[in-house]
A and B are shown apart, each in its own frame.
Chain A
């Protein structure tokens, strides 16, 4: 039996670190490139990736991540996160993966809808003007599920 091809994905982004955001963006863009419908839903600290004044300054987390192979105390030193971020950004550029803002514009242009989570927006006292222009709207969890009808939901 051949499995049904994936028609639609809804990707939830809950983390605001650079390494927390990129996988979701790559997956959303990759879905569209394969002709799969895609929706991005940013919640909790993931909102940093669509907050206009923050999205250009996302950082790699160097503490609490054993796969970084940096001892926690070293990772906590001033400048470590900036250094790791700089290195990752250079690597991304080499791989032709755009910076977050450009990536968001590109993804929006592929026809992927981008939403912010209402509960988090209220919690952080934000409104629509705080977000980059690519954000389609601020929606509740209920609306998120409605829009995700028939989709595979991916939580990152």
Chain B
């Protein structure tokens, strides 16, 4: 499925997750965040930057524990930044698919 986000055409799945993280740009992130009702600030970007970096190294978006332990973002803050499902929403905004782990 194709979708136009801030002038870029990206491939998304039925739930709006990018299917190719390579199509992600910062402008796309802003649009994806808006869909989730989130206005991105510096704290969000710290999370997104970590997910992009870690995701590029591992081929998949990190889970919450990794974001907190290695990314250095406390669990509480993560839940405040991405209310109603931090792992999913942070992965989505960062251009990755829905996380598959149970954690």
A35 nearest CB neighbor, chain B only: B84
Interface string of B24-63 (1 = CB under 8 A from A): 0000000000000000000000000000000000000001
Q: Tally chain A residues at the interface, Cβ within 8 Å.
A: 15
Chain A 22-77 interface residues, beta-carbon cutoff 8 Å to B:
26, 29-30, 32-35
Interface string of B63-75 (1 = CB under 8 A from A): 1111010000011
Residues of B within 8 A of A96 (CB): 63, 65-66, 101, 103
B65 touching A33, Cβ below 8 Å: no
- B93 interface hit (Cβ, 8 Å): no
Residues of A within 8 A of B10 (CB): none
Secondary structure at chain B's binding surface: helix, strand, loop or mixed? helix
- A150 interface hit (Cβ, 8 Å): no
Residues of B within 8 A of A30 (CB): 102-103
Residues of A within 8 A of B76 (CB): 109-111
- A106 interface hit (Cβ, 8 Å): yes
Q: Tally chain B residues at the interface, Cβ within 8 Å.
A: 18
A95 to B76 Cα, complex, angstroms: 22
Residues of B within 8 A of A121 (CB): none
Residues of B within 8 A of A95 (CB): 101, 103
CB distance from A112 to the nearest CB of B (A): 10
- Given known pairs A29-B103, A111-B79, the reply for A106 and B86 (CB within 8 Å) is no
CB distance from B88 to the nearest CB of A (A): 7
- Given known pairs A96-B65, A97-B103, A106-B68, the reply for A35 and B83 (CB within 8 Å) is yes
Interface positions of A (Cβ within 8 A of B): 26, 29-30, 32-35, 95-98, 106, 109-111
Some 25 contacts from A to B, beta carbons below 8 A apart, are: A26-B103, A29-B103, A30-B103, A32-B79, A33-B64, A33-B85, A33-B86, A34-B88, A35-B83, A35-B84, A95-B103, A96-B63, A96-B65, A96-B66, A96-B103, A97-B103, A106-B64, A106-B65, A109-B75, A109-B76, A109-B79, A110-B75, A110-B79, A111-B76, A111-B79
Closest 10 CB pairs of A and B: A35-B84, A109-B75, A35-B85, A109-B76, A33-B87, A106-B75, A34-B85, A96-B65, A110-B79, A26-B102
